Amino acid sequence: MCAGMRTFPRFSAAAVTEAEEVRDRPFVTAVSPRLSRLHRSRPDSAAVPPARDSIYGRCLKGITSARDLVGHLFQCPVSNAKKTQRADLSRSTSKARKLRNSRSERTEEQIQQQNTDARVRMTRLHQEEPEDTRDERNEVRRLEQRQSRRFTVNRRRTNDQQRQQVHRAFISDSFLRLAFQYEPDIEYYAHSKVAHRQRARCSLNEHNELLKIFKSHMHQLQSDNHAIVINPDKTPAGEHIRRFNAPVVDDVGIMVGDCTAAREIVIRRRNNNLQFIADTHRSYDALQYPLIFWKGQDGYCINIKQRDTVSGAETNKNVSSKDYYAYRLMIRRGLDNVILRCRELCQQFMVDMYAKIESERLRYLRYNQQSCARKSTFICETLSTTTPTSPKLVTMSFYHHLHRLVWLMENVLKNFPKDFTNDTVTNVDGYPIYRRRNPENGGQSFIKNIINTDIDIDNRWVVPYSPLLSKTYNAHINVEFCSSVESNTFAMNKNDEITLYQIGRYISSNEAAWRIFGFPIHERDPAVVQLAIHLENDIRKVNGQQYPTYKDACLALGLLEDDNQWECMLAEAALNCTAIQIRLLFAIVLTTCFPARAQILWENHKDSMTDDILHQHRIRCHDLTITFSDEMYNEALIAIEDLCIVIANLPLSNFGMNSPNRTASDLMNTEMNRELQYSTVEMAAIVARNVPLMNEEQRTIYDRIMLAVSAGQGGFFFLDAPGGTGKTFVISLILAEIRSNNGIALAVASSGIAATLLDGGRTAHSVFKLPLNIQNNPDAVCNIKKQSSMATVLKRCKLIIWDECTMAHKHSLEALNRTLKDIKTVTNYLAELCWSFQVISDKHFQSFHVQHTLMRSTLA
């Protein structure tokens, strides 16, 4: 028996050893001192005698058979309950059918009437009932309800108590997990809830290979004596007993006790010889956990070889127990892991196996510690301080691989001066007493002046040292030879970190799982990472490829988060969002999420963000074959940048994207688009159709103006003719001619009616944004900013036709002239541009005169 790892909660101290004789079943066995308990029974009876003075025994009080035990553990009836005799509910009698038919034929009114009659009838009956009878009936009903309630409460309370009791039996007495009998006709049950849920009775008799081996050797047993040895309560010698109190948490765990004892299954043979099955034995797991390894499968052993991950061939390295159990406990998709379905048993398995892993690891460390401890040389080193009488303790450590203990003492000279000794002898504690002869006996002495004081120094003050070590390490290194075991154990026992680490340690199932899987047990804050030293260009080189930026190199190394999530998000948005929404989403991502490669995101999703611009352009141009163009993408970028400025007040260049070309942005210029919306084909057709119809005078005017337009000379023309003589006809042709060449010709009029007569005509106030109180403002300018879209139109405009110009105030023409000068940055805009003024009636002659004066003064 042994109990290296002590588990909790502990069994009673009295349940240390139980031995009894069974004459007709001469089988001898014992199980793990902590985790299992075996019971045997007579062949003629399935009785399970409870353990004496133990929790186990108390839990099983009143249980007289294995069948009861299983029922008790599983909290399920062991016998089949009689089925309740149900009433015949089939209403197939003729009377029932007749009643159903009559009820189904009732109308709503009849149903209501019958219900009302029934209520009245019941009320009348209750009123006619004697008061005593009614009280008696109500009292009986109250009593019945109270009794029923009490019965329900008691039943629930009993169930809870039983459940708690069984739960404690499972959890607290976690090692009371197996109750089986070595009978060939008896199956083995366990308290595992897996088994409980499935009501599965594991036929270990049939499948467990270890059990078969046991049984095959049963007939060879000579004696009836056998023992069950359980000693989970063993407290390490010399330790305080309460230090090893079982934790009170409702948890499966293990408390490490005497670290010097091994964790083994012990089988006591009939001749009282003990056979140990080490925890590294391949059958240990199957013996300890027959429910998990119900076929007696092999568990961990130290000879399992690692395999090459590529070739699959065996290597020379052994699989560690930690790796083995991590492999066994791992969750794998599509594969069922029986261990993980065992609930508390699984937790118990994990803490047990982690204890095994720790034992294996600590055993390794202990063996290496002992090899270190065999070294027998102490080196006492004192620091080279200015005051040799007060050296300080610095540290104590093992010195390199020389296996020499370097011990810096706080006051290595505190025992000086030593006594005079004629010969070197070894003291009882193993330390040497070196020869220190007095001056009378041949020893040396001299006088040293220290702080104006003469001090007589003799051999009593000599500190043993090694000249080689002192010179090598440039320090005062005092050396003493110690050859006894005591001197070593003095150093080692005080620093047996393995014992200090292991003893009294509590391992929960959570910690066991965490450590078996090798999860990190601590974090470092702030994170300290060793950075490699690179040349300047090497940092941007990853796998031989040099990236243009450090950011790209970091992305290649996977140090930065990629934009996959933003890719997915924008791709999903493209399915059900408008282009405006996607642009807003992209702007939010840019300004708040800082994607690593914003430009690539834009390139991948620019079509979905420009979709509305394409659609508008197609509608405007009456051409559905138009595809995406750089101008459209530029417009979308401008819109996105506007959003970024609104959100974060930052342009696109701040997010690693190319800035849009705002000066080239005419695509969304509504004023420009309005003037360019004409179909060149249609305009050309109009010209081709009507030019031959012009008379000579019309032709002269037409040629004169078109010559000025094509030459870019500029000009100022006034067209005056009686009504109905074809002025509008000529003007329309001139407009069509210019528009057929994709040029811009503005057609304005002083009145709205006149504007409707011209193709694309608008009022002068609308086009030129003339001030309303123009007559009172001689220095007025048009409300057209130099960077506005209308200014762009005016810059590209080739001809302005102002119908009924004489109806406008002269301040209007002067305001337009100032505005055009400002936009074109020329001194005389009218000299550059072809003007055509049309006077429609003689009544406007005065106005014309004013304009004519203006024209002359301007041209001058």
Ligand X SMILES: Nc1ncnc2c1ncn2[C@@H]1O[C@H](COP(=O)(O)OP(=O)(O)OP(=O)(O)O)[C@@H](O)[C@H]1O
**Binding stretches for ligand X (CB under 6 A):** 693-695, 698, 721, 723-729, 840
Find the shortest distance in angstroms from Cβ 718 to ligand X: 14
For ligand X, give the closer residue by CB, 359 or 838: 838
The residues near 688 (Cβ < 8 Å, ≥ 6 apart) are none
For ligand X, give the closer residue by CB, 27 or 729: 729
Find the shortest distance in angstroms from Cβ 704 to ligand X: 16
For ligand X, give the closer residue by CB, 554 or 694: 694
Find the shortest distance in angstroms from Cβ 699 to ligand X: 9
Find the shortest distance in angstroms from Cβ 722 to ligand X: 7
For ligand X, give the closer residue by CB, 466 or 725: 725
For ligand X, give the closer residue by CB, 482 or 758: 758
Angstrom distance (rounded) from CA 380 to CA 392: 12
Cα atoms found within 13 Å of the Cα of residue 702, Cβ hemisphere only: 24
Nearest to 652 by CA among 590, 715, 578: 590
Ranked by CB distance to ligand X, the top (closest) residue is: 726
Find the shortest distance in angstroms from Cβ 804 to ligand X: 10
**Structural tokens at position 5:** 């790892």
Using alpha carbons only, how large is the chain's radius of gyration in Å? 53
Find the shortest distance in angstroms from Cβ 603 to ligand X: 54
Nearest to 547 by CA among 563, 559, 530, 565: 559
The per-residue b/e assignment along 736-769, b for 16 or more CB within 10 angstroms, e otherwise, is: bbbbbeebbbbbbbbeeebbebbeebbbbbebbb
- CA dihedral sign, ordered 528, 529, 534, 537: negative
Angstrom distance (rounded) from CA 764 to CA 814: 13
Find the shortest distance in angstroms from Cβ 754 to ligand X: 8
What is the 3-class SS of 390-419, one letter each residue? CCCCCCEEEEHHHCEEEEECCCCCCCCCCC
Contact 644, 638 (CB under 8 A): no
For ligand X, give the closer residue by CB, 441 or 725: 725
Angstrom distance (rounded) from CA 644 to CA 641: 5
Which one-letter DSSP state was computed for residue 479? E
For ligand X, give the closer residue by CB, 509 or 732: 732
For ligand X, give the closer residue by CB, 246 or 694: 694
For ligand X, give the closer residue by CB, 312 or 692: 692
For ligand X, give the closer residue by CB, 347 or 806: 806
Contact 447, 455 (CB under 8 A): yes
- Stretch (H or E) spanning 747: strand 744-749
Find the shortest distance in angstroms from Cβ 755 to ligand X: 13
The residues near 147 (Cβ < 8 Å, ≥ 6 apart) are none
For ligand X, give the closer residue by CB, 190 or 840: 840
Angstrom distance (rounded) from CA 758 to CA 729: 9
Cα atoms found within 13 Å of the Cα of residue 576, Cβ hemisphere only: 2
Find the shortest distance in angstroms from Cβ 751 to ligand X: 12
Contact 31, 39 (CB under 8 A): no
Find the shortest distance in angstroms from Cβ 731 to ligand X: 8
Nearest to 74 by CA among 251, 195, 218: 195
For ligand X, give the closer residue by CB, 728 or 751: 728
Beta strands in 369-471 (DSSP E): 377-382, 396-399, 404-408, 425-426, 432-433, 445-449, 454-458
Find the shortest distance in angstroms from Cβ 797 to ligand X: 23
Find the shortest distance in angstroms from Cβ 739 to ligand X: 18
For ligand X, give the closer residue by CB, 284 or 848: 848
Find the shortest distance in angstroms from Cβ 736 to ligand X: 13
Contact 813, 694 (CB under 8 A): no
Nearest to 482 by CA among 437, 434, 436, 435: 434
For ligand X, give the closer residue by CB, 334 or 723: 723
Find the shortest distance in angstroms from Cβ 629 to ligand X: 39
Find the shortest distance in angstroms from Cβ 710 to ligand X: 22
The residues near 804 (Cβ < 8 Å, ≥ 6 apart) are 749, 750, 751, 754, 838, 839, 840, 844
Angstrom distance (rounded) from CA 756 to CA 255: 100
Find the shortest distance in angstroms from Cβ 728 to ligand X: 3
Find the shortest distance in angstroms from Cβ 820 to ligand X: 27
Q: State yes or no: cis peptide before 417, omega within 30 of 0.
A: yes
Angstrom distance (rounded) from CA 403 to CA 371: 9
Angstrom distance (rounded) from CA 206 to CA 211: 9
Distances in whole angstroms, Cα of residue 38 to Cα of each of 28, 32, 232, 533, 816: 11, 9, 15, 64, 112
For ligand X, give the closer residue by CB, 516 or 807: 807
For ligand X, give the closer residue by CB, 39 or 844: 844
For ligand X, give the closer residue by CB, 578 or 756: 756
For ligand X, give the closer residue by CB, 426 or 695: 695
In a 3-state reduction of DSSP, which class is residue 764? Answer: helix
Contact 745, 798 (CB under 8 A): yes
For helices 344-373 and 485-493, give the axis angle rounded to 10 degrees: 140
**Structural tokens at position 707:** 């010559």
Q: Please provide residue 395's backbone torsions phi and psi, each rounded to the nearest 5 degrees.
A: -160, 175
